[in-house]
Amino acid sequence: MSQDSNQAFLLKDFQAYCFFGCIKTQEDNGSFYLHEAKQKKFEVHRERFIPKDDVSDLIDKSLSSSKTMTYIELSLKYDSTNKVFKPQLNFLFDNVFIRKLDRGLTSSPTIGIEGEAEFCKSGMTSSPENRTIKFSISEVALENQTIPDFKGSSEFSTYFNELETTQSSILVRLKYSISFSWKKVVAGDYRLQREKFNMLETLWKDRLLSDCVIVASNKTEVKCHRSILAAQSDVFRAMFESELQESQTNRIEMDDMSEQGVNALLAYFYTWDIKIEELSEEVCVELLYAAHKYNISTLESLMIDTLLDKPDGEDGNQWFSPNIALELYFLGVNIESCNLLTEKMLGILKRNGKKLTDSVTFTELRARNPNQVADLEAKLQELELK
């Protein structure tokens, strides 16, 4: 690892046994999860062997927030065309997991693996016939991919291609570590960054030389700066650079946002910080809607992650009211990045069917958007039949 990088372990010196096939008449000759986010054995290893600190806590929270499969897998295939065995490393990462790590660390992390595989021809008993091969890979981007060429992969291939045995499979003892690496923040750069934030925080706190106002739904005017809005959103920038009314009056009417929502949005613009735990469900919805409407992708990702983390009622603890779940469903159904959130809201609506259909909000939506409501009812019916 470079001296300019930080490192944190996902697993350290993890040991396991697995079987790989050596059959030349089938393509798939076995696989083993080097890590899988939801498997208990990996959680136990982290609890016992990985020191607790802010980064390990971030990794744990990112893993637990994964909504879809997140794994690193070692597999063995037989290529019947070229008549060779080929190992490969398969990486599958949940988008929520990636976003949480990216946001929590100072730069986008990469992943590395270093370990050894002992091929046990005589079972678990140590034997001179056993062969040990070291394998490793470094600086792998956190994206879904399959990597056939890694350090040690050719030795894997050679071993299986030259293996003479009547067995259909062979026992392999694995010992390996998996780690994240990310670029170190230089002290001087950090101080400069902190000073920039302090200046922005002062602008926000004191509203120095403000030249613009946002009018909330209750008609409260919240002072701010055109330049800050334009820097954070290309929609605001286009608004101020055009001949639109806002560029002439320096007033932006946000009838769909509460005063609390407007203040939370601006706090994010000036300080990059939102006190998530203090936000009501209504304000969270407002911020997600504003992030999408004004093309603020970082805020959109933050709010999606926040809402995905909230309890959905499966364990009896529900954060969302049926009306908010309904609003979030219709907000997210046409936004690709909200797919997981839409599925979550659909589950909440299914569990609150009676409250939903009896609500005034649902009745009003049916009158305004009968086709969309009909689609929702069809999906809920499909879930009931499963």
At 321 the three-state DSSP class reads coil
pLDDT at 188 over 50: no
pLDDT at 28 over 60: yes
Closest CA to 13 of 38, 45, 39, 51: 45
CATH superfamily for domain 188-385: Potassium Channel Kv1.1; Chain A (3.30.710.10)
pLDDT at 357 over 80: no
Give the residue-averaged pLDDT of 145-152: 96
Interval 199-218: pLDDT, tens: 777 888 888 888 999 999 99
User: In angstroms, what CA-CA distances link 131 with 117, 136, 177, 228, 244?
Assistant: 8, 17, 20, 62, 73
Give the residue-averaged pLDDT of 301-323: 79
Predicted pLDDT at 362: 81
Report residue 197 as tokens. Answer: 């934030």
pLDDT band at 194 (very low <50, low <70, confident <90, very high): very low
For residue 113, what is the enclosing H or E element?
strand 110-120
Tell me the residue ranges of DSSP E strands in 294-337: none
Q: Where are the domains of the chain?
A: 5-183, 188-385
Predicted pLDDT at 125: 60
Predicted pLDDT at 326: 87
What is the C-alpha separation between 364 and 208, in angstroms, rounded?
A: 44
Report residue 295 as tokens. Answer: 């093309």
What is the C-alpha separation between 133 and 114, in angstroms, rounded?
A: 11
pLDDT at 3 over 60: no
pTM (two decimals): 0.61
At 119 the three-state DSSP class reads strand
Predicted pLDDT at 238: 93
- Maximum CA pair distance of the chain? 84
Interval 251-301: pLDDT, tens: 999 999 999 999 999 988 887 767 777 889 899 999 999 999 999 988 888
Half-sphere exposure of 345 (CA within 13 A, CB side): 23
Residue 305's CB: how many other CB atoms inside 10 A?
20
Greater model confidence, 319 or 115: 115
